């Protein structure tokens, strides 16, 4: 799969000024730099057309387009990610976990999106730190897990992404502002960069681990 990740500048600026500098790709992803704050009220009233722009870019490029954003649902703020394919919005995923004190609330359940380039499971922001989040998406047969991250990436952030790829047997793509990292099912880094525009190939190869455990004590089955 050909991937293009934009880690600086917003989506419309890239569309207007830099799109011609990139080749055709299957997946075009932005961090939270892509859209900024999206108000559902303004979108519904037609005062803004931010989601329409995401859908339009997916149609113009023939790519699956994903971007992080902060959403305002009538005063309730969440970290989110929107995904579009073939000129239409497939959905918006919210962060299911929130670390420490924040004005941003945790959102809805996890979801795997059926796209023209494969089944993509979306994680948002602090979801990357919870291995059970990636596990849910892998059990839902995701071909790729993509996390749009909203802060400066620490070594632990990338370690958790690589760990999820290995333990769940699904390639993991971490997209943040001025940083992108892709890990294969062996947990090794397949691509990592702090460039503004990144183009690389990512193999959608999954793996399944046979796991056994030893327990002490007496366990009675049904």
For the chain, give every domain's residue range.
2-201
Tell me, what's the pLDDT at 11?
95
Residues of the chain with pLDDT below 50 are 222
CB-CB neighbours of 35 under 10 Å: 23
Say which residues have a Cβ less than 8 Å from residue 97's Cβ, sequence separation at least 6: 106, 125, 126, 127, 129, 130, 133
Tell me, what's the pLDDT at 216?
67
Tell me, what's the pLDDT at 23?
85
The answer to whether 43 touches 55, Cβ cutoff 8 Å, is no
Measured CA to CA, the distance from residue 158 to residue 144 in angstroms comes to 16
Measured CA to CA, the distance from residue 95 to residue 146 in angstroms comes to 12
Which runs of consecutive H residues, i.e. helices, occur in the chain? 11-13, 40-44, 50-61, 131-139, 155-168
The answer to whether 94 touches 78, Cβ cutoff 8 Å, is yes
Length of the chain: 222
Measured CA to CA, the distance from residue 2 to residue 198 in angstroms comes to 11
Class of domain 2-201: alpha beta
Tell me, what's the pLDDT at 222?
46
- Tens-digit pLDDT profile for residues 125-163: 999 999 999 999 999 999 999 999 998 889 999 999 999
User: Of the candidates 202, 215, 211, which has an alpha carbon nearest to the alpha carbon of residue 173?
Assistant: 202
Measured CA to CA, the distance from residue 42 to residue 128 in angstroms comes to 30
Tell me, what's the pLDDT at 219?
54
Report DSSP state, residue 152. P
Say which residues have a Cβ less than 8 Å from residue 110's Cβ, sequence separation at least 6: 93, 96, 121, 122, 123, 133, 136, 137, 140
The answer to whether 62 touches 77, Cβ cutoff 8 Å, is no
Tell me, what's the pLDDT at 102?
76
């Amino acid at each position: 799969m050909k991937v293009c990740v934009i880690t600086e500048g917003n989506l419309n600026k890239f569309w207007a000024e830099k799109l011609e500098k990139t080749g055709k790709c299957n997946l075009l992803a932005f961090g939270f730099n892509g859209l900024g704050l999206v108000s559902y009220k303004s979108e519904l009233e037609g005062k803004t057309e931010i989601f329409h722009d995401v859908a339009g870019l997916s149609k113009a490029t023939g790519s699956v387009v994903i971007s992080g954003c902060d959403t305002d649902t009538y005063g309730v703020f969440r970290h989110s990610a929107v995904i579009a394919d073939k000129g239409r919005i497939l959905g918006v995923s919210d962060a299911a976990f929130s670390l420490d004190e924040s004005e941003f609330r945790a959102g809805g359940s996890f979801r795997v999106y059926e796209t023209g380039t494969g089944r993509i499971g979306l994680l948002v922001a602090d979801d990357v730190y919870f291995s059970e989040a990636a596990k849910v998406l892998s059990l839902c047969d995701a071909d790729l897990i993509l996390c749009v991250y909203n802060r400066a990436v620490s070594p632990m952030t990338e370690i958790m992404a690589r760990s999820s790829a290995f333990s769940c047997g699904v390639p993991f793509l971490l997209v943040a502002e001025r940083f992108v990292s892709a890990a294969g099912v062996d947990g090794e880094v397949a691509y990592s960069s702090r460039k503004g525009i990144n183009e690389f190939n990512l193999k959608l190869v999954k793996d399944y681990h046979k796991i056994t455990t030893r327990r002490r004590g007496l366990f009675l089955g049904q």
